[in-house]
Chain A
Amino acid sequence: MTYYLQLLLNGVIAGSIYALFAVGLTMVYGVFRFINFAHGELIAWGAYLVLLFMHTPIFLPIYYAVLPALAGTIVISLAQDRYVYRPLRQGSRISLLIASIGLSYLLRNGIRLIWGSDLMTYGLKPARGIYFAGLSITLTQISMMAAAVFFLGSLYFLLTRSLLGKSLRAVADNIQLASIMGINMKKVSLAVWVLASVFAGVGGILLALDTNLEPMMGLTNLIKAFAAVLLGGAGNVWGALLGGLCIGIAENMGVAFFSPGYKDFISFALIILLLLFRPGGIFGILVGVR
């Protein structure tokens, strides 16, 4: 029993990180109606930039390195939008998708160029587990969950209580109507990219704290974020949040039944099954084009 509870706990921890990834992805989809295949690289770059600011020649302690790393991630995502996505937004959708997958390949190889292809860590001391009722959890994992709750909570207040959040939701609902109503699209698009990259960067850093860094981490987690987004219904922020948790739990509970080599397989299979049976997602109502 404790074994399964431990798996559930691991699942919730992983799931809260996936939720961070998925929320950003689904917000970009909600506003721009396109799937950013380069979203995964924001995750990886966020994590690797911390490494950059921790080592020569800067030597910041990790807590201070997080801020410039997030700023870097924001710059990358704004540059993506400014130089690639915006010029292509009026053109055919296929060009946009090919460009985004090309961009993700470019960014991933940028990481391999600078840091190499090997596994890396932040080099912190391994955290000691805290035992509570037979369950083990490390301090890092507690802070991961705390950070996820903090960021997702602030997102909730931003979306429901602020004018910016209201305009975000209005644009996601109907972009033409929103711009007729005088909502400043530049501001909204800036906000979406900043939010998406901060969430991706924070998630990537937290994940790297708990596990390690590798150039492929962006792609692996992108597919999990896709699964979460599909589970929640594309464009639906709360659906993505719940979807992320479900993916994390399903993946970790799956370890009890399948070989751990297939851990990633579960979210992939879930994508295919969802597309087959519930294309609108489980939690969400389908909005707009599928």
Chain B
Amino acid sequence: MDYLIHILIVALIYAIFAISLNLELGYTGLYNFGHVAFFGIGAYSSALLSLGGLPVSLTMVIGMVFAGIAGGLLAIPALRLSGDYFGIATLAFGEMVRLFFLNERWLTKGPMGLPGIPRPSWIGQGIAGLPMFLLLCALLTLIVFLMVRRLTTAPFGRALKVVREDEYVAQALGKNVLSLKIRAVTVGSVLAGLAGALWAHYITYISPSDFTLNETILVLLCVVLGGRGTNWGPILGAVVIIFFQESLRFLPIPPDLGRFVAPLQGIVYGGTLVFLMLKRPEGLLPEYKA
């Protein structure tokens, strides 16, 4: 039972993470290949501040703000160019952030990571706190889901879709394309920061190796598998992927073959991305196009 709750919590955290990427990738058509950077910034800033003694609910908000600032600051130069370059810049940014975590030992303890990150005080520590943490995650996922649904059905969301389909049309209709994109990336980064902060306070231990390109690929797969540009897609994708990943633990794999599991999983993920693009680019839940 505790294990099921654990899977659900991870799935919900990834759902928030995937919703945040979907806002950029699905609605605005921006390929962010370094989205994990904002997840990491949210996780590290919230973890460090709470280890410093601040209350967790406050540090999570600060983590979101930091992630949002980083996202906005990256978006301003990177978005003056067309999509491909944004992909490169974000990929490089993701690696830069990871190197920063790895090298600034005075702050992040480098590869040793940060152990003993506290949970919010009203949630019990250890296993006893699992149900309450699930409740918190469910509540936050619901808020994020409703907020993003509101955003994307509002004129703002429709304008984002126009930007995705054709920037020139959006310009011709008098939309400020750059500002729309920057706002989308900033909101996406804030939400990714929230997911990261939740992750840090749930797992209670983070290290730079938690924030690599692998996590970006995983969340990209959640979005693409579920359905880009839909509200339910990222959540469905996150649940399917996380349950798949966790169910692998129950396979009776002899210990000497253990080292093959992670690469095989990677091959499956990469292969699924390619296969989806070739055969079903709209994912499980296709976007409704009027």
Q: Spell out A's residues near B (CB within 8 Å).
A: 34-35, 37, 84, 87-88, 91-99, 101-110, 112-113, 116, 219, 223, 226-227, 230, 259, 261-262, 264-265, 267-269, 271-272, 275-276, 279, 289-290
Contact (Cβ within 8 A) B31 A99 = no
Q: Is B249 an interface residue (CB 8 A)?
A: no
Contact (Cβ within 8 A) A95 B277 = yes
Instruction: Return the chain A residue nearest B270 by Cβ.
Output: A106
Q: Which 8 A-B pairs have the closest CB atoms?
A: A102-B273, A106-B270, A109-B266, A105-B270, A276-B77, A113-B263, A112-B263, A99-B277
Partner of B263, one of A87, A96, A110, A223: A110
Q: How far is the CB of B13 from chain A (nearest CB, A)?
A: 21
Interchain CA distance A94-B281 in the complex, whole Å: 10
Q: Which residues of B contact A223 (CB under 8 A)?
A: 91-92, 95
Contact (Cβ within 8 A) A261 B99 = yes
Contact (Cβ within 8 A) B95 A268 = yes
Partner of B278, one of A88, A108, A112: A88
Instruction: Kindly supply a per-residue 1/0 record for chain B positions 95-132, scoring 1 wherever the CB is within 8 Å of any chain A CB and 0 otherwise.
Output: 11001101100000000000000000000000000000
Contact (Cβ within 8 A) B81 A279 = yes
Q: Which residues of A contact B272 (CB under 8 A)?
A: 102
Q: How far is the CB of B203 from chain A (nearest CB, A)?
A: 22
Q: How far is the CB of B102 from chain A (nearest CB, A)?
A: 7
Q: How far is the CB of A230 from chain B (nearest CB, A)?
A: 7
Interchain CA distance A109-B274 in the complex, whole Å: 14
Contact (Cβ within 8 A) A84 B92 = no
Q: Spell out B's residues near A (CB within 8 Å).
A: 25, 29, 31, 33, 74, 77-78, 80-85, 87-89, 91-93, 95-96, 99-100, 102-103, 213, 217, 220, 224, 259-260, 262-267, 269-274, 277-278, 281
Contact (Cβ within 8 A) B269 A105 = yes
Contact (Cβ within 8 A) A99 B96 = no
Q: Which residues of A contact B74 (CB under 8 A)?
A: 272
Contact (Cβ within 8 A) A109 B220 = no
Contact (Cβ within 8 A) B78 A87 = no
Contact (Cβ within 8 A) B31 A272 = no
Contact (Cβ within 8 A) B278 A219 = no
Q: How far is the CB of A91 from chain B (nearest CB, A)?
A: 7
Q: Which residues of B contact A84 (CB under 8 A)?
A: 274, 277-278
Contact (Cβ within 8 A) A268 B92 = yes
Q: What are 13 A-B residue pairs whose CB atoms fall within 8 Å in the complex?
A: A35-B84, A88-B278, A94-B29, A95-B277, A103-B273, A104-B270, A112-B262, A223-B91, A223-B92, A262-B99, A265-B96, A265-B100, A268-B93
Q: Which residues of A contact B25 (CB under 8 A)?
A: 94
Q: Which residues of B contact A227 (CB under 8 A)?
A: 92
Q: Which residues of B contact A290 (CB under 8 A)?
A: 81-82, 85
Q: Which residues of B contact A269 (CB under 8 A)?
A: 96
Q: Which residues of B contact A108 (CB under 8 A)?
A: 266, 270
